[in-house]
Each structure stands twice: as structure tokens, then as C-alpha cells.
Structure 1
Amino acid sequence: MHKFLIVLLFFFSLTTTFSQSSVNVTGQLREANTLENLAFANVTVQNSTDNSMVTGAITDDNGRFEILGLPTGKYTLLFSFIGYETVEKPLIAGGLNSVFDLGQIALQPSAEQLNEVQVVGQEATTNSDLNKKSFNLDNTIAQAGGSVLDAMKTMPGVTFDQDGKVVLRGSDKVVVLIDGKQSSLTGFGNQKGLANIPASNIEKIEIINNPSAKYDANGFAGIVNIIYKKETQKGLNGDVGLSFGLGALGKRRPDTPTDLGSFSVNPKLIPSLNLNYRKGKLNYFLQSEFIVQEALPNNEFTTRNYDDGRNIVSQVPENRKQFRSIINGGIDYNLDDNNSFTLSGLYDRERHIDTSQVAFIDLNTNTRNRFYTWEEEEVTRYINAAVSYLHSFEQPGHTFSANAQYTQGLEDETYSLNDSSVVRVGRDKTNIRAIENTTSISSDYVKPLSNGRLELGAKLRIRRLPVDYTITPGNESIIYPGLGSFSDWGENLYAGYVNYLLEKEFYDIEAGLRAEQTDVFYDLDPANTYYPNNDKYDYFELFPSARFTYKLNEHNKISAFYNRRIDRPGEPELRVFPKYDDPELLKVGNPYLRPQFTDAFEVAHKYSWNSGSLFSAVYHRIIQDQYMRIFSIDDSNPNYDIVNRIYQNTGRATNTGLELLASQDITQNWSLSSTVNWYSNAIDQYEGAVLFPFVRPFTIEASTANAWNAKFTSELSLPKEFTFQLTGVYYSDKNIPQGKELARSSVDLGIKKNLWNKKAELTFSATDIFNRFGIRQEVRNEGFTATYQNYFETQLLRLGFKYKI
């Protein structure tokens, strides 16, 4: 049993006039690696002379404990929790101090006791707190073998849009972190890549709807924190896994007549490795995943009905062959009991080739009036290097930490475009090469106080993203002329914060203030004829946050939150170079886009009982200068119209909703959980102008979009170490700017079999069994209506095996 010997500072009075006859002792127990609060842990006070028990306490939902009226004397405090090493601390109570706050006490998992826990029961999939929800991915059996995006499918309040972005409570303005830090894997301030990150080495995912001031101010909808596995046992341990799958098993809609069509029955192979070696002062960790697959990330059918009577349908299948490798590793070095360093690195490389044949069919004559083929070859590479330092002072929970991180990201994308129609036969080629360099330095200080703690921190982040754009035009090229050949985007962020937490027996108060100075520039090639001026601006903003939590009784507590946040458009939203996968439906950015600001309010309640819990929340957000993609028609081409999907600021909006999360153990072997999220997105009327490819007005009508989604999970433990899980997801109809998105649903199932005394496990999963999770939208704009259907790869079968080392 590992013991921590921390001697508390105390003062003895020289006279009995000022001495204390009894003291109060407080503190908080946390898991050493994840910093999760340990509820219902045991605190025992023993007499140091004869080891007899004097008194004790049980920690509350927040891991806090309080021992009142302890007589002066010498004691030994024992902190214990099933599955963890017991921690001993000496205490000399008396003198001038009437309150001893031991701060945060960390308990390390015990290898021997951990095996015992696994026999007793399974860790809850959802640990619902009032400011954070945590989900253990080992229990997402129905999505086993899939990506991080697959694993988030059944999480409360989470949906996905047509671009594969996470939508949290009706908004895609979500910040995604890796182990609490921004990373090249998921983007800096903007989402990317979650569908291509295997979940095999992820321990859990946290959803933070109301971040405090210590977090970056980006992301009005909240923060998703992805936590990698990291073993704590001594010696060599970890696991090795292999997943095989088949995707796109059925076609929701027949392909348009082309030779290639859309990929189906797509094979997938994902090996993974998670190793940890701990000895003495050193700990080595390594995680790696590889993806070799065929995939169908998009399969877009678009029917355009023009006011002049033309009706055109097209299909853009994104047939992908992909190889991706992710290697994440590092070293922890514990210099002594008070100082530790972590050196870590990440290498991520992906290469994929997408091919598509796009037929444009005139529905009035049932003839093909255009045939368009393209091939995209894209290579992305990201390198992260980070060093972290942690100093622990003598007082438990009193820490100073510093972190420095450098990231380089490369995107090299080449499109080969071939057009065949009555008006044009030609070939075009485009290449975009972007190299992003990000340097981040931060420091954080935590000081426990008698009834709470004080947190201070500062951060500097410098980002540069130059883009080179090369065009090789063919006969009567479809590429817009005058785009130029380069752009250069940069952002400097300077931030500092203070956060104070007061914890009392029946209530908590947390208040913080974050200050951020941001300098942004976006330089364009002078040859660009659409945006004649470079853009440059800077702004200083304050971002307050506040939380009040009141414990009504042992089973009920309620919280109120407020925070102010910002969403800054990144380079992908600003990029002036269109994407030509569909020459008549172009996606393009806007270099003059501005940030949006949000004031968020929420009231949450949690009621828990022995076999379950109910979490409920009401939230309201006010968004200023919201930005989104809008549809705008370009009818300047005499042969065909082009619909631009372009980013624009669209004025004021609100987001109001209700979230419910319930879990219940029906029997010892059967548990149910369900979530319902209803929200209303209201948009004020707004009139603006689109600058690309020529100036024309657009109007956003005032509208209110009411939508809801429901999810359920049923898990049943069966004899002979089998576990069965069934999940269901339903997204209702919802209004979108200029149109409507139709309802969709999915039913998934999974089976897990533990082998060889839980040294290994075999999983089988089937997602979207009825093939009903595709996206369907109806859009109305001046001069046309459009029906958009994206029947991408949602129906998959996976078989996985994992062996624990």
C-alpha cells in the first residue's frame, strides 16, 4: 500500500486563551489520473497512539467531506475507495487553526482491487454532473469498432450536420479537445476529422456545456473533451485490438446512371495498440491506430427546380479509398514528489483518393445533359510536440503547471475535373496546399483556500496558415477566373483568467473572468477580383462566467450558470477558393466573416436514487452576429446556373431548449438510459449582400425552428460473460435557414463477449439497421427550390477483438 506523508502546517498557541479545543477538517477526493470527483468514498480518523477509530465521514457527490468537532490531538486520516489504493495522512489538530482544509487528495487505482471491481459490476456509461457529463467508451458496445463520431451518436444533446460536424444542443459551434488541450487531430477552434479518429484508444468523452473562465472562450455550444487511455499500474500493460467492418450495405436510393455509381459493401480494417510501461520515476505511453478502408463519406443527391420550369437532378458520390495512421506517445518523468514533466508527441498522416462520376439529368426529358467526373487526391499530415511541467506545493491541491505546444499541419489537395456536355468538353485541375503552424504557451495556478480554491492562468497562441492555390484551366474552364494564387491567414491570441470557487456544506459558488486580446489578418493575392481589400482587425473582450449550485438534500441539487463566449471563424470558413466536387453547387468561404458572441444562461437539476438518476436542464443563449452557410444563386453563366453555399454573418439569433437525461437499473443485469433534447432556434430578419462572384442581395426571413431528438440505450448482461446493447436515435424535422431538414432515425445493436477471465473481449456491432439515418433537406430561395439528400455510409457491420496485455 502506497502511503503519502504530507505534514500540515500548524501553529501552537503559547497560551490556552487562544487555543482551540476542537477543529473542523475538510477536503476533496479525486481520481489521480482523470481528476474525477470520488463520491461516496470513506474517510476514517484514527488515533495515532493506538490506531483506534475516532470518527469518519463519506464524501458527497462532489467528492468533498467535512469532519466537525474533532478534539485536539494527533491523528491518522485514512482515505479509501473500492478499486483504489488507500491513502494515509497524519494530522495534528490544535493550536490557532480551527479549520484544516486538506485540499484535493488523489487516489491511485489499485491493480488487485480493480480486478475485484470488474467482477462486482460495470462502470456506469454516463456519469451525469451539473456542469459536465462523462461517457465511458468501453460501454458503447453498439458502436464498438467505430470512430469517435460513431461513439458520440447516442450522447445527450449531440447530433450531426451534413458536413459531419458535431451539433450540440442545436449548434455546431463546438470546441473539441484532446486530453483537455486543443490539438491538430480535431482542429483549433473549428471541428474536423472526428469521423476518422478510431475510438479504440479513447477512454471516455466529456461534454461540458457551461465551461468556466479557465477554458478558452471559443465554442458557444460547449466543449467536447476526448480523453485517451493512460494506464496507471506498474510494469507493462495495455491492450492490442483489431476491428474489421463492412459499410454501405444497402442503397437508400438507386444511383443515377453512371459506370461507377456509389461504393457499397466497403471493407474496413482498423488495428490498434495501447501500451504503457511504468517503472520508478518514469512512465512511457504509446497509442497507435491505423485505418485501411473504402468508404462513402458523402453521397449527395440534389434536385433543383428552377422557376423557369427546368428540373435537374444530380448525384455526387464521394467514393473513397483511405489509409490513415495516428501515433501518439510520450514520457512522464516524476523528478520528485513535487515536480513532474511530460514530453509527448503525435504524428497523424492520412492519404485518400476520392472518385466520382456525376450525371446531370433533365427530369422533364429524362435525358443526361451533362456528365462530370472528378478525382481528388488529398494528403494531410499533422505533427504535435508538447512539454508539460507540474509543481505540487506542500499543501494538497496547491499546484502550478506550464505547457508549451507546437503543431504543424499540412493539407495538400488536388482535384482533376473532367466535363462532358453539349456546351463544353474540357479538363481542369486545381491544387490547394496549406501549411498551418501553431505555437501555444500556457500556465495555470491553483491555490486551495479554507472553503474553496483560487485559479489563475495565462495563455499565448500564435497561428499562421498560408494557402497556395494553383489552377490548370482547360477548354472553357469552369473555374472562376480572378481568384488569385495565394492567401495568408494569421491569428494572435493573448489571454488571462481568474476563477474563484467557494464550497460550503449546502452550496457552491464559482465565478470567473477571462480576458482575451485577438489580432487577426487575412491577406489575399492582389489578383483576386472578388475581394479587393485585405482584412485585418483586432479586439479585446471580457468573458465572465458564474455558477451557483445548491444542495437541496442528499438526493437533489440544482445549479444556475451564466457564461459569455465567442466563435471565431477559422481559415476553412474564410477560404476564398471554392470546392468543385459539384460544379453547379459550390462550397466557398468568406474572408470578411466576423466572430459571433454569445451570452448563455442555464438552470440544471439532478435527482439521484440508489438505482438511477434524472438530470434536467433549461438553457437560453443569445447570439450576436451569427454566421452560417447560405444558398445564393449565380445565374451569370449562360449555359447553367450555379448555386453557391457561402458563409455569411446573419445578425441576431437565440437558442432555447430543454434537456432530460434519465438512467435506471431495472435489475442487477439490465439497465436503461434515455435522453430527450428539445430546442428552438430563432433567427431575426436580416438583409445583407453576397460579394462572390458578384454583389447581390440576400434576405434571411425571421423564423423559429423547433426541433427535438430522443435517444435510448438498453444494456443487458447475459450468462457466460455476454453483454447485449440496443440503442435508438431519432431526430425530428427542423427548420434551417432558407428551408427545412426532415426527420431521420437509427437503430444500432452490439454484443460483447469477455474471454479468458476478462483478459480479452470480442465485439460485434451493427449500426443503422434499417438504413434511415441519411440527411434530407428542402431549400427555397429566389429563383429556385432544391431537395438535398445525403445518403452517406451509415449502415455498417463490425467485428472487433481486443486483448489486454
Structure 2
Amino acid sequence: MRASLLLLLLSVFVQEIGAQVSVSGAVTDAGDRPIPFATVTLLAPDSTLLSGNHTDDQGRFTLTTTFRGSALLSASSIGYATRSRQVFIGENNDTYDIGKLTLVESSQTLAEVTVTGERATVGAALDKKIFDLSSQQAQGGGSILDAMKALPGVTITQEGEVQLRGSDRVAVLVDGKQSALTGYGNQRGLGSIPAANIERIEIINNPSASYDAAGMAGIINIIYKTGTERGLNGEAGLSLALGEITTRREDLPTDLGRYRLNPHLQPNFGLDYRNDKLHAWTQASVLVQRKLPNNEFTQRNYSDGRRTLSQVPENRSQIHYVARAGVDYELNEANTLSVSGIYDYEHHIDTAQIPFLNLNTGERYRYWHWKEDESTGYVNGRVDYRHAFAQPGHQVELAAQFTQGKEDEQYFLNDSTRYRRAQDTSHLIAIENTTAFNLDYVRPLAAGRLELGSQLRYRSLPVTYEIAQGVRSIIYPGLGEESKWTEDLYAGYANYVYESPRFEAEAGLRVEQTAVTYTLDPENIYYARDDAYDYFKLYPNVRLTLKADERNRISLFFNRRVDRPGEQELRAFAKYDDPELLKVGNPYLRPQFTHTVEAAYRRLWETGSLFAAVYTRASQDAFQRIFSIDDSNPDYDIVNRIYQNTGRATNRGVELLWSQEVGDWWKYSAGVNVYRIGIEAYTGTLLFPTVRPFTLAASTENSFDLKFNNQFTLPGNWQAQLTAVYLAPRNIPQGRELSRSSVDLALSRPVFAGRGEAVLSATDIFNDFGLRQEIDGEGFTARYENLYESQVVRAGVTYKW
């Protein structure tokens, strides 16, 4: 079996997948009485029989076909004249209800009715891009983040977060549902998911009202593999890797330095069982690794002439377990019950020795040494009940989900300066409980479908915080020992889809009422009051699509989204991995709201395709980190990095995706996103640790992301993939992010008589994908470099039975 490498399975460009379509209705007589055992047929334009069936004792029928396009539907019965209708089976529905066919004993002219709808082809409405990973083995030994790195329009940050079109405000779903697998507002779990377990990735830049309103950049939907064969089958894999092989910048002098030649080990397996009424599955993986998730060099230049340099190498030893399991049981022909769950547990120990150098004198004026012992994890349980009505595709689904996530973080801090030689400790425990109830209803129509639904979601996040302060401690006093954040959300939506042979329309509205509280410890001296607010918002979506012909399609989109701050952005307790560049959240942070307008065009030809989009996003009350000098401690130069709402921000751009098959031996695709980021000037007030004003200067800059993928078929059943990524400089709040680039190579071939695949890959071969930023703050400038582990050589093997 040919291995299919990553990107050029760009199903976004509408490769037909042959999904079956159901066309249903009823046959009645002139008195509206059902006619049982009538013959119903569906014919292609050349009179080829596509499908046929008889009506049941209630006069209802269902026809199934993989055909798309115009067809002739006919019904006949002894004693009645045959009746026919011209129908149109579109690309965005799998089920159609054409209503009643009335048979009469005498001739009667029937009006022509066009049946339209949507098929489950990828990107037919230009509303999503689908990347098929089910047979993609070139990244089979890596994580889903490795697989996504080369996708057009997608960027992976040093923190393992996904950006779409330059924004990390992305909602991540698993099998179309909210899941703590990646967290609410947190994507770090993606790095632990083996790509071998994933069937496909869907990128939805303009979601409809049926989706949660969160995520202004769009939605990434991760679809796990599920078995379709009867009986028991399974898959197992093993990946071995070595990271941080070459050196980009020499370490500052310490005893420990940074971790190099870091080993990674990840076995995974999956089992799947299916019979007529039951489908059960389980998947599990274990990741054991030594890693360098961050390696931060920061040079600060103060307006009075002082210059400092520091390095924070985050040396990590980690083990991570992930297990999923589920059962789908068909109670009867109309009712199905599904139960599923996820267990995730991760433990790591990070150590770092951090020198602080005075660049004017060359002396080391501070030595900061810390160890972090942290465990994170969650359990997630979900129950789904689905009732299918007699008409195919007509269904209602009820779901209940509970998630509990936990973070247990301990820091052991050692400080050595001319002012002190002392130790401090901090211990934070955060437990997030989320309970959600969903009701979703789908009704196929003669020209599309109607979707209705509602959601109730309750979230609570209590945090406890304990500290033990040494002599002249640098830990901020007066924070208190606890806080609690809650969010209650009530939502309802309606979404309507219409399609004709030349035109499609989709319009929806999501209504949400949200109530938020943040209760702070009464001992907290920085924030004078608890926070509580609520908001009622409407989130509309509109899509209009013109189908010029089978190869050319144009769509217009409009929608409104929201980004709610997460735990890291709200946390009132500072993080001390770098005591002079302190990260801290803001419990008074508010949501940001974004309007998006987009026009998209798609063209297909025999050997390739083109996708082009022009888009604009405008966000109000955008929240981002602000750099500001903290002069509350006279002994040290401290810069705070605090989240703050900062007014209006825009992102306008053009995205082009090109796919071309040159021959049997070479396929390539290219993606370019040219955009302009606009940040408006803003003046505000910071409250922590002292009240002080800040000013954000206006900035605009043109930038672009470029990705080029090559897929080669080589002798001996070998496949090769070569990927190049270039991210141009761009403006950020208070500064500029410099360019980054990466070249990746992968080889794969079938093994075990075609039942398995062997993979050898190398990411960031030239070790040039580190993050570099220039910051221009009030009273200082800084150059920040995060030369985290991006260069990895990996060998993997998978086996199916």
C-alpha cells in the first residue's frame, strides 16, 4: 500500500470521498392515503439506475446512492400513473426529504421540484479545510502538532499552541465536541496526541451558529480514527526520537546549562470492536521524554544606560499518559446510546540555573536556581443519546459531559545576590470543574436542512496558593491564599442551510447569556474588590455561495465570535521562573469580541486546485500581555508581563493555497498568507503590583507566512516529504517579532507485508525555528529569544491487525 504523506492530502480541494446519500419521502394517493409497496427509482441523466426500493406499509421510502448532481426520481404502482420529479443532490447534505409523491389514476402534470443539499465532501461550501491523516505515515511517529506544522494557514508557537492566520485564539474540538483533551482555552495537550491515532483534521475559519461562539480565529476539529470493520481489529505503534541536537546559541555559564540530545519514547495502541449493535473502542499512549520546552535569552536595555542579560533554560523530565475509551450501543433502530471517557495524567520536573549578567561590567550579579514539580491531568466523561426519526437524517441528540482538570504546581526557588542568599517556595493547586448539557436537533428539508439546539455549561475554578518566604523574599506579599472563578453559560441557536444547483445559503444565530464571578481572598491587597459581570450577546453567521460550475465556486462569509480569558490569563498569582521578567494574569480581564468578513474562491482542475480567500477580522477589547517596569522592589530591576484589555485590533489578509500533481512521482502544494496587523493606540492603568498608567503605541505592519510541501514517490515503495516553512517579521504589542524558518524531511515505506509502516523524519533540520522578539517598553527596550527544542530526529513504526 502506498504511503500517503502529509499535506497533499489537501482534501480541502474537494477530492470526492463517495459518501452515501439518503433520499427519502412518501408515496400517497390523491386522498393523501399511503400507497404501500410502490416502486421508487432514481435515474442518472443517462437513464442509468442509481437506486431503487419499495415503499413500506406506511408508504415511506428511502433510497441510497453515492451519486451527486441532477437525477430523476420516479414512483409507480399498479393502477396508478407513474410520477417523476427532477431532483438535485448537492454537496453539503447526506440526507434529503423530498416530501410526498402523489400518484393519481389519471394523467396529471406535476411541478418540477429541485432537491438540493450538501454532501460530505471536504470544503464543498468553502467553509472548512479538511486534511486527511488516516493513511498519512510520514508524521506517524510524531504528535499531532508535528503533523499540523506544515498545514497551510497554521502556525505552531513555542508553547505548543496553534495559530490560525496569525492568531492563537483558536477553539479545539475532539470529534466535533468540546473536550478537556486540549483544555478550555488551552492547547498544550496536543503535543501528547500521536498523529497515528488521528484520521483527519478540520480547520473551520468561519463556524456556524451550531458551534460554541469561542475562538475568533476559528475552530480546529480533531477526528480520531474509528474502525469500520466487523469484529476485533487494532493498531500499535512505537516512536523513538532525539531532540536538541545542534546548538543555536551558546549557554551562559552555569553548572547545569541546558538539556541536549534529549530522548523521547512514545508507544501507543488502539483496539476497536464492532458488530451489528455495538461499537467499542479504546486508545492509549505513553510519552516519556527529556525536553527543552523553553530556552529564553533576554537582554534588557534601560533608558539610564543599564544593560542586563539572562538565560532561562527549562530542562524537563516528563511522563505523560493518555487513554480514551467509548461504547456506542444501538438500543433499537431508532435509538443509540454512547458513553465515552478520557483520562490524562502528566508529571514533569523542570530545573533551571539562571545567571543574570551586567553587560556594562561583565559581572554576574545574580544567580537564580529553581525546580518545579508539577502534575497536571483531567478526567472527562460524556453520555450521548440519539433518537433517529423515520426520515433519514432527522434526529435529536442529548448529551451530558463532566470534566475535572487539575494542576498541582510546586516551585522551589533559590536566590543568590549581594542582598540575599535564601530560599522561597510556592505551591499552587487549581481544579477546574466543567459540567455541560447539550440538545441538538437536525431536520432535513427539501432544499437543505434546519439545525436547532441549546447548551447549558457551568464552570468553576477554585485555586489555593501557599508560600514560604525566605529572608528578603522576592515573592509578592499580600496575595492571599485562595481565589475562585465561575462561569455560567446559557445558549441557544438556529441554523438554516439552503442549496440549489447554482446557489447556496447558510444563516444562523447563536444567543448566549454568560455570568462570571471572580472571588478573591480578602487578604489580597492589589485588587480592592471581587469581580462579577454578565453579558447577553448575539453571534450571527452568514454564508452565501455561488456555484459557477462544477469546478468554480465563490463564497462570502460573515460571523461574530468571542474569546473568553482562560485560567492562565486570569491568574492573580505571579510565576517566578524568571524573577526579573515576571508573568502574571489579571483577574479583571474581560472577553474580546471579533467580527470576521471573508470572500473565498475555489477552482479545480484534473491535476490540482486553487483556493483563495480575502478576509478581515476586527477585535474589540483585545487582551494581550503588556510589558511594564515594576519599581516596587528597590533591590531588583523587574519587568512585569501582565494581561490587559487594550482596545481595538485588526487583521486583514489574503490566503492562497495551491495544489498540483506533476506526475506519478511528484506532487506539491504551496500556501501563503499575506496579512496586515493593526494595533490601535491605547492608554490604560495597571493595578499589579502598583497602580500605574501604561501606553500602547499604534502599529501596523505587513507580513506573510509561506509553506511549500513536496511529496515524492521513490523506488522500493518509499515515500518522501520535504516541507519548508517561512514566517516573515510581524508587529506585536510593544514591539516586533522577527522571522523564523524551518525545513522538515520525512521518509516512509510499508513493512510487515503491508500491515505496517516505518517512518524516519527530521524536523527543523537547520535549527532556525526559534522565536525572536524586540520589545520597546516605557523606560526600557528588550530583545527576547526563545530557542526552545524544535530540532528533532524521529523513527517510528506502526502495525495494524
Q: Secondary structure at the match of 2:188?
A: coil
Task: Report the equivalent of 2:71.
Answer: 67
Aligned position for 1:313:
309
Offset at residue 199 of structure 1 (A): 2.2
Alignment partner of 1:665 out of 661, 665, 677: 661
| Structure 1 residue 44 corresponds to structure 2 residue 57 | no
Whether 2:362 is the aligned partner of 1:366: answer: yes
Distance in 2, Cα, partners of 1:526 & 1:90: 64
C-alpha contact 1:727 1:749 (8 A) present in aligned 2: yes
User: Quick check: 1:95 aligned with 2:103?
Assistant: yes
SS of alignment partner, residue 103 of structure 2: coil
Instruction: Name the structure 1 match of 2:530.
Output: 534
What does residue 390 of structure 1 align with? 386
CA distance in 2, matches of 1:316, 1:789: 10
- Displacement of 1:204 in angstroms is 1.4
Distance verdict in 2 for CA 1:260–1:3, change over 3 Å: closer
Q: Which residue of 789, 792, 801 corresponds with 1:793?
A: 789
SS at match of 2:191: helix
The reply to whether residue 335 of structure 1 matches residue 331 of structure 2 is yes
Inter-partner Cα distance in structure 2 for 1:324 and 1:336:
39
1:576/1:490 CA distance change after superposition, 3 Å: same
Distance 2:715 2:364 in 1: 59
Where do residues 406-417 of structure 1 align in structure 2 (5 Å cutoff)?
A: 406-417=402-413
Give the C-alpha shift of residue 389 in structure 1: 1.2
State the match for 1:221 in structure 2: 217
Q: Give the TM-score normalised by structure 1.
A: 0.89
Query: One-letter code of the match for 1:10?
Result: V
Alpha-carbon separation, structure 1, partners of 2:380 and 2:29: 52
Matched, 1:496 2:502: no
| Aligned alpha-carbon RMSD (Å) | 3.1
Using a 3 Å threshold, how does the CA distance of structure 1 residues 138 and 255 change in structure 2: closer, same or farther? Answer: farther
SS of 1:11's partner is: strand
C-alpha distance 106-233 of structure 1, shift in aligned 2 (>3 A): farther
Of 572, 575, 578, which aligns to 2:571?
575
Partner of 1:11: 28
* TM-score using structure 2 length: 0.89
Mapped to 2, the partners of 1:24 and 1:250 lie a distance apart of: 67
Alignment partner, residue 719 of structure 1: 715
- Conserved in 2, the CA contact under 8 Å of 1:141 and 1:725? no
Q: CA deviation at 1:309?
A: 1.4
CA shift for structure 1 position 635: 2.1
Deviation, 1:198, is 2.8
Q: Which residue of 2 aligns with 1:235?
A: 231
Q: Whole-Å Cα distance in 2 between the matches of residues 604 and 24 of structure 1?
A: 37
Query: What whole-Å deviation, never above 9, does each CA across 1:21-65 have from its counterpart, x for those lacking one?
Result: x999799xxxxxxxxxxxxxx97145989xxxxxx9997xxx853
* Structure 1 equivalent of residue 607 of structure 2: 611
- Show the 5 A alignment for 1:241-390: 241-390=237-386
Residue 43 of structure 1 contacts residue 57 of structure 1 at CA under 8 Å; is this kept in 2?
no
Once the two structures are superposed, the pairs formed by residues 383-532 of structure 1 within 5 Å of their partners are 383-532=379-528
CA distance in 2, matches of 1:69, 1:318: 66
Shift of the alpha carbon at 1:520? Answer: 0.2
1:790 and 1:251 map into 2 onto residues whose CA distance is 13
Alpha-carbon distance between aligned partners in 2 of 1:277 and 1:376, rounded to the nearest angstrom: 42
Q: 1:140 to 1:532 in 2, by over 3 A?
A: farther
Identity %: 53
1:194: Cα distance to partner? 2.1
Q: Deviations over 1:603-650 (max 9, x none)?
A: 000000111110000001111111111101112322221111110000
Aligned to 1:119: none
Structure 1 residues not aligned, in runs of 5+: 16-21, 28-41, 50-55, 78-85, 108-123
What does 1:727-742 align with in structure 2 at a 5 Å threshold? Answer: 727-742=723-738
Q: Does 1:744 align with 2:737?
A: no
Letter in structure 2 aligned against 1:512 = G
In 1, are the aligned partners of 2:20 and 2:64 still within 8 Å (CA)? no
Cα 1:168–1:634 shift into 2, 3 Å: same
Shift of 1:414: 0.2
Q: Residue type of the partner of 2:351? A: T
Verify: 1:637 aligned to 2:633, yes or no: yes
Q: CA deviation at 1:94?
A: 4.5
Partner of 1:18: none
Q: Once structures 1 and 2 are overlaid, which stretch shifts more, 361-370 or 489-498?
A: 361-370
CA 1:515–1:688 in 2, change beyond 3 Å: closer, same or farther?
A: same
CA distance in 2 between counterparts of 1:526 and 1:224 reads 40
Amino acid at match of 2:279: N
Q: Does 2:718 align with 1:701?
A: no
Per-residue Cα deviation, 1:319-364 (whole angstroms, up to 9, x for no partner): 0000000000011101122211111011000000000000011112
CA positional deviation for 1:193: 2.4
* Paired residues of 1:184 and 1:409 also in contact (CA < 8 A): yes
- Give, as a single letter, the amino acid of the residue that structure 2 aligns with 1:457: G
In the alignment, the residues of structure 2 paired with residue 180 and residue 43 of structure 1 have an alpha-carbon distance, to the nearest angstrom, of 36
Q: 1:243-285: per-residue Cα shift (whole Å, max 9, x none)? A: 0000011111000100100001000100000110112311110
Q: 1:555 aligns with which of 522, 545, 551?
A: 551
| Alpha-carbon distance, 1:764 to partner | 0.4
- Supply the AA of the counterpart residue of 2:569: E
Separation in 1 of the partners of 2:331 and 2:49? Answer: 30
Contact kept in structure 1, 2:297 and 2:312, CA below 8 Å: yes
Paired residues in the alignment total: 753
Residue 571 (structure 1) shift: 2.1
